[in-house]
Amino acid sequence: MPADQSEKDPPRSTVLSLFNAGVTAESGPQSLTWWDLAFLKSLNLVRDDQYASAQRAAIRDQMLKEIAKVPSGE
């Protein structure tokens, strides 16, 4: 997602960091972040009969809408 489209940077500790080398269940994040929730909601809404590029665009657009709902300071 281009930085100029969102004022909110993704949190450093998303559930995606569980895939990083050396991260364990104990050292990884213990809950979803607002970014994780926005991604999962957006992923759930994407149609599976679209090309990958259209899916990525739909996920990005929906994430921008979801991120706009996040209160400032989070």
Residue range 17-34, pLDDT digits in tens: 888 888 888 888 888 888
Report whether 23 contacts 17 (CB < 8 A). yes
- The reported pLDDT for the residue numbered 36 is 92
Judged against a pLDDT cut of 80, whether residue 3 lies above it is answered with no
How far, in Å, CA of 68 to CA of 59, rounded?
Answer: 14
- The reported pLDDT for the residue numbered 8 is 63
- The reported pLDDT for the residue numbered 30 is 87
How far, in Å, CA of 66 to CA of 57, rounded?
Answer: 14
